[in-house]
Amino acid sequence: YHLYLSKDENFVVSDGFYSEFDGFDYDNEEDYANFSSYKTIVTNHYVTDISDLDGLDSTFTRIQMIESGMIKNDLLNSFRYSFSPAHPELEHFYALMMETSSDDDFKIMITEKFEKYEDLTAGNDSPEFSYPNKEGEMISLEDLKGKLVYVDVWATWCGPCKREIPFLKELTTEYEDKDIAFVSISIDEVKDYDKWIAMMSEKEMEGIQLFADKDWKSDFVQAYAIEGIPRFILIDKEGKIISADASRPSDPK
């Protein structure tokens, strides 16, 4: 954290900095349940980068050694947002979670997600959408055939969503002469419709701005199994999925 905050790339901790963790107990269920600081230490100890095969196998090998079922299952539950249809090792990820978890409810939930995700892999037809813009005109995915479609699922109450708006505007400007449609779908509740209208004006939001019909329960949101926003989706010119969980506009890649 000091390296991150000071932006001193040459910073290294002093010798013996980690000695306090010699013999540290990372498997204390009572402390895990009662102290957020201990929970953070345990999470950072067991969970590495799970974005590829090596990271998955390394992390799950460590988690499978945990004796506390509560800690083990809680760590697995924290992966629910990383378990995405765009994960390159989706089937392996699913198998590891089913093998490691002892929580039947979690297994049912993750199986339901996996079964949905199988239809959301690259090359499959994208679920459709048809929602109104601020003028009340219905815009559908079918209307945009022949263009790449970059979808932003967001809401006015979502801080991370709002932080992406300037980056999305830059992206829209950069690609304004290309065959790509930028579509933002708000999942605000109907009672916040005026907030949506006001924010579009305040933030000078560009691209195609649509308002979903049933917020989190909207068909498009349900079909993509979206549980957290912002969520970005990339669809090809034929309406097929390129990525059901695409990079954010702020991502340097």
Q: What are phi and psi of 174, to 5 degrees?
A: -60, -35
Per this entry, what is the length of the chain? 253
> How many angstroms separate the CA atoms of 45 and 59, rounded?
10
Indicate if the pLDDT at residue 1 is higher than 90: no
* For range 110-126, the mean pLDDT: 92
What is the widest separation between alpha-carbon atoms in the chain?
65
- Per-residue confidence (pLDDT) for residue 227, from 0 to 100: 86
pLDDT, position 77: 92
- Identify the band that residue 51 occupies on the pLDDT scale cut at 50, 70 and 90: confident
With a CB cutoff of 8 Å and minimum separation 6, the contacts of 152 are 161, 164, 168, 182, 183, 184, 185, 230, 231, 232
Q: What share of the chain has pLDDT > 90, as a percent? A: 85
Helices (H), 78-182: 90-100, 104-117, 159-174
Q: How many CA atoms lie within 13 A of 188 on its CB side?
A: 21
pLDDT for 86: 83
Q: What is the mean pLDDT of the chain?
A: 94
> What is the distance, to the nearest Å, from the Cα of residue 91 to the centroid of all Cα atoms in its chain?
18
Mean pLDDT of 131-159: 97
Cβ contact 153:226 at 8 Å: yes
Cα 168 to Cα 98, 164, 185, 246, distances in angstroms: 37, 6, 13, 13
* 81 pLDDT higher than 90: no
Give me the helices (H) in 15-150, please: 29-34, 36-46, 53-63, 69-77, 90-100, 104-117
The confidence score (pLDDT) of residue 209 equals 97
- Averaged over 142-160, what is the pLDDT? 97
Q: Are 38 and 28 in contact (CB under 8 A)?
A: yes
pLDDT in tens, 163-207: 999 999 999 999 999 999 999 999 999 999 999 999 999 999 999
